[in-house]
Chains A and B, each alone.
Chain A
Amino acid sequence: MANKLIVTAAPHITGEDTTQKIMQRVCIALVPTLIASILIFGINALILTAVTVIACVVFEYGYCKLMKREVPVGDFSAVVTGMLLAFNLPATLPWWMAIVGAFIAIVIVKQLFGGLGYNFANPAIVARIALAVGFASRMASYPFPESGVDALSSATPLAAKAGSEAYRALLLGTHGGVLGETCALTILAGGIYLIATKVISPTIPVTYLGTVAVLSLCAGQDPIYQLLSGGLLLGAFFMATDYVTSPTTRKGKLVFGIGLGVVTCAIRFLGTMNEGVSFAILLMNLVVPYIEVLTRQDKLGIAKVKKGGAAK
């Protein structure tokens, strides 16, 4: 018996949180928004979400099998990507286009760069941008709930004129848009759930939304309307807080959030495009490695030295 004892280095216990549990919580946080989108856009929303989720999981499984990599079975990260991607698509989008989006997200952005934890940008955001550029007219044809599912192509709420009664419509989601960005209330509920379960820290959403509100005021825009419309809330709570493509330190998160707000407002107020969130997140994703290096924490007992001075 004496020689059967296991000998390893400390620590000998680990916490209860796992990658799988974290991803499951993100899925749970997205469910209210999914239900809201089904209520608003009909069963098409559910089918579209199912298609992207299944496509993402199949692509992940297939690619890992093909490359003889270990299949990350059940870590739920592909499910999260699938749901987020669906939430970025209009309900009327043809399924094959959604599958193309899933391919871009999982195979091109995630797996080609090394799989979970190695993607340079948020897969769902890149897929959305690719689809928006590739299938511009279909991606911009937002169905209006009032006039049935197969609705006319119309201006997004951002392009429409702002009115005071529009707040209610924006909160409840009874306006045109992609699946996941219409109902502000459910997105907020999901975000608060994620913060409460410590999956995300509130720093990024708060600084992002705060920056947009302040800049809107400065630019003479209606801040509440700016916060509630478009993909801002979905982006702030679910896409910008993606672990892999956001900074880890408090300082870094602050810089990241402010940067997102500035880029979003610049695109919204100065550019010709209505929606700045996707491009803002993509752009800021790309500078995350630099933010990380420049915003490291102060270490206990280490006097601040000029760069390069620490190395001997």
Chain B
Amino acid sequence: MYYIKMDKEKEKVLGKTNTPRRTAAAELRLFLGGKTENRLRTVLQILSKQYREVEIRMSKFFKRSALGAKVPHNKHTSHLETVAMPLPSKIVLSMGQHIGAPAAPAVAKGDQVYVGTVVGKAGGFVSMDIHSGVSGIVDGITTITAPNGAPQTAVVIIPDGKQTVDPDIKPPVVTDLKSLQDAVRASGLVGLGGAGFPAAVKLSPKNLDEIDMLVINGAECEPYITSDNRCMQEDTDYIIKGIQTIMKYLDIPKCVIGIEANKPDDIKKLSEVTKDMPIEVKELPCTYPQGAEKVLIETCTGREVPFPGLPSDVGVIVMNVTSVAFIAKYLETGMPLVTKRLTVDGDIVKNPGNVEVIIGTPIQELLDFCGGLTDEPGKILYGGPMMGTCVADLSQPVLKNNNAILALSQKAAQTPKATNCIHCGRCTNACPLGLSAKEIARAYEAKNVELLYELNGDLCMSCGTCSFVCPAKRPLAQTLALAKIMMKNGGKK
């Protein structure tokens, strides 16, 4: 009885704390003020806890090294406030800006559209509507080359400069989970961390009652990119509102925001505002790829997402900071996803910075807005240098799931020459998933599909860590991507 009372008292004190340091301070106060027997009990508890932790760490130590890569941060633009880019001369809205089925054009040449008008209708459950970010006239339906090289239908709109908002735009009424899911679906939101997974699908897990943790991704582990960082600085309130909305309607008791240690300002700011909430801000080590979904879940919750499987299988929903901030904004204004904050950087951009840009703006116009390029470009990237895709021509538009446009000089774009593998094992020890890239690459060259399955080649998420750490500069991540294709095709290259 006495112990129960003690625990309740302890809970009362500890319940108000949310950072590890505050919890520790409160525990110390309780400890010093308590009776001898309680002190002894606490010491024993701490010891057993420590022992468990050491045990877990030791088992983890030999499970897999998962050292990650010490990539250069290059976060030159982290202190630069977001600037809005003026209207472009045209916007090109690709119908495939998300994972899943592409949308179908819902307008025809000559149609009048407004800001927020649906121009592409979702092509299925795992798909998303596409909205116009300008008011103007549809110039036509064309075909562009998607980042993966495949042709993609796109709607071209010429702005009229008035930016008239679609009369149908009004804040959605959200009263329960269903209406929240519908609202998010109508907002056209896709995972803004880069993968572009439709957000409404994420918020509709099959095992809703098993979800007990919301993990918010503020890791931003890719070099150069600072758009999530700016979001955490500029839209802090929206992030918190978004988190609270999701926690409320999905009935999730706990939330962890993971932020890499190279963003101390964000960690400080978010820790301050979440002081009295069941939201923990977790500092993540600065090793790429902390922001990869499975790695983030493991670091934040200690849970391993099974393969094949989804985060919901271990009771977790992961969302990007920018995505949750957008949900809160959408619920306030009803304006769908038509603009995006992008980091424009790279060694040849004249004025690097963070730009709020209308989705569909051609990259050439965005680069011109940033002062143009100081040198002949070697590579232009959608996204960061670790996982970003190359842009084949500058007339290509900005997509929903972009968080950066990088321009690299001819020199920086050169691929170093690959030499013999020296079996240093850096790829194996760096892989966040515990794969052995050198073994998989060798099995691929030998076309040994059975061995590829034994080595779990299909688990690879193409984060690029193995290629980055390889001292022989071998294109391991690229080979592993080919190996995955070979596994799908049953042995053919």
Chain A contacts to B: CB under 8 angstroms: 1-15, 17-19, 21-22, 72, 75, 77, 115-118, 243-244, 247-251, 254, 292, 296-303, 310-312
Contact = CB atoms under 8 A, between A and B. Distances in A.
A312 B424 contact: no
B89 interface: no
26 contacts: A5-B390, A7-B392, A8-B390, A9-B477, A10-B387, A12-B386, A12-B388, A13-B223, A13-B412, A15-B471, A17-B471, A19-B420, A22-B424, A72-B420, A75-B419, A116-B420, A117-B420, A117-B472, A248-B423, A249-B65, A249-B425, A296-B436, A297-B65, A297-B435, A311-B453, A312-B453
A77 B421 CA distance: 13
Nearest to A114: B420
Contact of A2 (B393, B421, B475): B393
B415 interface: yes
B422 interface: yes
B471 A18 contact: yes
Interface in B422-474: 422-426, 428-429, 431-436, 438-439, 450, 453-456, 459, 462, 464, 467-473
Query: What 4 A-B pairs are tightest by C-beta distance, nearest first?
Result: A248-B425, A11-B464, A297-B64, A297-B434
Nearest to B305: A301
B3 interface: no
A6 B378 contact: yes
B416 A14 contact: yes
A5 B377 contact: yes
B298 interface: yes
B304 interface: yes
A300 B423 contact: no
Given A244-B422, A299-B433, A301-B305, A13 B381 contact: no
A13 B386 contact: yes
A110 to B, nearest CB: 11
Contacts of A13: 71-72, 223, 385-386, 412, 468
Contacts of A7: 379, 390, 392
Among A3, A10, A77, A311: residue with most chain B CB under 10 A:
A10
Contacts of B456: 299, 302, 310
Interface in B360-410: 376-381, 385-395, 408
Nearest to B380: A5
Contact of B376 (A1, A15, A243): A1
State the majority secondary structure of interface residues on B: loop
B2 interface: no
Interface in B138-197: none
B307 A12 contact: no
Nearest to B387: A10
A235 B309 CA distance: 46
A77 B416 CA distance: 19
B478 interface: yes
Chain B: interface residue count, which band? 35 or more
A278 B66 CA distance: 33
A302 B468 contact: no
B392 A243 contact: no
A3 B393 contact: yes
Contact of A303 (B71, B306, B433, B462): B306
Contacts of A298: 63-64, 434
B481 interface: yes
Contacts of B377: 1, 4-5
Contacts of B386: 10-13
B428 A11 contact: no
Contacts of A17: 426, 469, 471
B277 to A, nearest CB: 30
B73 to A, nearest CB: 12
Contacts of A301: 294, 304-307, 309, 433, 459
Contacts of B450: 311
B289 to A, nearest CB: 10
B74 to A, nearest CB: 9
A19 B72 CA distance: 20
A6 B433 contact: no
Contact of B381 (A12, A77, A299): A12
Among A12, A18, A296: residue with most chain B CB under 10 A:
A12
B69 to A, nearest CB: 7
Contact of A248 (B61, B391, B428): B428
Contacts of B472: 18-19, 117
A1 B298 CA distance: 45
Nearest to A253: B425
A11 B387 contact: yes
A284 to B, nearest CB: 15
A15 B428 contact: no
Contacts of B455: 296
Contacts of A2: 393-395
Contact of B379 (A1, A3, A5, A115): A5
Contacts of B70: 15
B422 A4 contact: no
Given A297-B428, A301-B307, A250 B62 contact: yes
